Amino acid sequence: VAQEKINTDIVTLTRFLTEEQAKHPEATGDFTLLCHALQFSFKSIAYYIRRATLINLTGLAGSSNTTGDDQKKLDVIGNDLFVAAMRTSGKCRLLVSEEEEECIVFNENPTARYAVVCDPIDGSSNLDAGVSVGTIFGIFRLPEGAKGEKEEILLPGTELVSSGFTMYGASTQLVLTMKSGGVNGFTMDNALGEFILTHPNMQIPKSRAIYSVNEGNSLYWDEPVKEYFNTLKYPVGKSGKPYSARYIGSMVADAYRTLLYGGIFAYPSDKKSPKGKLRILYECAPMAMVFENAGGQAVNSRMERMLSVVPEHIHDRSGIFMGSQNEVQNVIEVHKKHR
Ligand code: P6P
């Protein structure tokens, strides 16, 4: 009987990181250890998300658990897990989290050279509805002699050494990119408790007739934005076929679909949110790095390269258009016409 061909050449995230480090002889291993701490935080957040409904974590704080302390909402638990993983890694100096008003400085890691930005559970408002949520993260290398002051993390996305996101959906997906390029997708094997490389070298299609935006904000959009989306919905000339609309309202889910299928995701700044809604440090910049490294592009509402934008403060916001190379280029062309 023919033996079922078992693929025994499995690339786990651990093996991927080891091979990545081997490409950099000067590497001390600190980045690898930091990524292992990140990996652990994704696994533990995924665990709580999966059990949320069962142990009623989706509700508001207030119900007390067996030990009597207030049960926390998932995004607080996600944040606590992430902060603990970064602190105990010994390799993180500064941490900016969507859940923390101030930048966390780990004085117990005075010689650590990495700064991490994260949204521990992005899209958490969708959790009760069972919509996929995720963790978005970025890693900066601090300059030599960094003092661990929060101004040191107000950097453009071009300074990111790595970024990515997880999506806690039907399975747990991780999308990871490095400064050296390349975007790789991993899927959690719950039996092994390992992230397995399932989408090596992800490349976004150059075009795709799918747009992803909250049309409920149309009233507030600037003229070029209105015109752009109208050309997709009411095409003139030879094209003729309107685009499909796909909007989940959870950035990691909309981003993952756009990365796989192509198209454009947008959260423009508008009259209601003049600075935009999404945060530069831990939503726009990490996603922009992933999309550029996958062969796409990402710009802000002034049509500037998203990765060149420097945040004014750690929770600074921006408009964003990201996705297939040609789709984002169309947005740029419409805006040029309006100048
Ligand atoms: P809106 C979720 O709250 C989030 O931060 C992103 O994940 C998502 O892309 C966006 O906001 C959705 O915003 O205004 O369309 O509900």
Which ligand 1 atom sits closest to the C-alpha of 216? 15
Short-list 172, 171, 170, 200, CA closest to 185: 200
Q: 277 C-alpha vs ligand 1 centroid, how far in Å?
A: 8
Which ligand 1 atom sits closest to the C-alpha of 267? 9
Q: 251 C-alpha vs ligand 1 centroid, how far in Å?
A: 6
At residue 64, the pLDDT reads 43
Q: 266 C-alpha vs ligand 1 centroid, how far in Å?
A: 11
Task: Please name the residue whose Cα sits nearest to atom 2 of ligand 1.
Answer: 123
Which ligand 1 atom sits closest to the C-alpha of 265? 9
At residue 72, the pLDDT reads 57
The DSSP code sequence of 138-170 is: EEEEPPTT----GGGG---GGGEEEEEEEEESS
Place of tokens 């258009």: 321
Within 10 angstroms of residue 55's Cβ, the number of other Cβ atoms is 10
Q: 293 C-alpha vs ligand 1 centroid, how far in Å?
A: 23
Mutate to test the pocket of ligand 1, among 75, 277, 281 (most ligand atoms within 8 A of CB): 277
Task: Please name the residue whose Cα sits nearest to atom 1 of ligand 1.
Answer: 249
Q: Dmax over Cα atoms in the chain, in whole Å?
A: 70
Residues lining ligand 1, Cβ inside 6 A? 122-123, 125, 214, 249-251, 254, 277
User: What's the pTM?
Assistant: 0.94
* 85 contacts 37 by C-beta, under 8 angstroms: yes
Name 301's Cβ contacts closer than 8 Å, sequence gap at least 6. 222, 225, 268, 269, 276, 318, 319, 320, 321
Q: 318 C-alpha vs ligand 1 centroid, how far in Å?
A: 13
Residue 160 structure tokens = 């990111």
Task: Please name the residue whose Cα sits nearest to atom 16 of ligand 1.
Answer: 249
* 100 contacts 79 by C-beta, under 8 angstroms: yes
Q: 214 C-alpha vs ligand 1 centroid, how far in Å?
A: 9
Mutate to test the pocket of ligand 1, among 122, 281, 283 (most ligand atoms within 8 A of CB): 122
Short-list 119, 31, 33, CA closest to 82: 119
Which ligand 1 atom sits closest to the C-alpha of 133? 7
At residue 117, the pLDDT reads 98
Q: 84 C-alpha vs ligand 1 centroid, how far in Å?
A: 26
Short-list 267, 204, 210, 262, CA closest to 233: 210
At residue 4, the pLDDT reads 72
Give CA 200 to chain center in angstroms.
18
Which ligand 1 atom sits closest to the C-alpha of 254? 9
Distances (CA, A) of 169 to 53, 76, 149, 223: 14, 19, 36, 36
Task: Please name the residue whose Cα sits nearest to atom 9 of ligand 1.
Answer: 251
Q: 270 C-alpha vs ligand 1 centroid, how far in Å?
A: 14
Which ligand 1 atom sits closest to the C-alpha of 249? 12
At residue 7, the pLDDT reads 78
pLDDT in tens, the chain (339 residues): 667 777 788 999 999 999 999 999 998 999 999 999 999 999 999 998 888 766 665 554 444 444 444 445 788 889 999 999 999 999 999 999 999 999 999 999 999 999 999 999 998 888 878 889 999 999 999 988 888 898 999 999 999 999 999 999 889 999 999 998 899 999 999 999 999 999 999 999 999 999 999 999 999 999 999 999 999 999 987 768 999 999 999 999 999 999 999 999 999 999 999 999 999 999 999 999 999 999 999 999 999 999 999 999 999 999 999 999 999 999 999 999 998
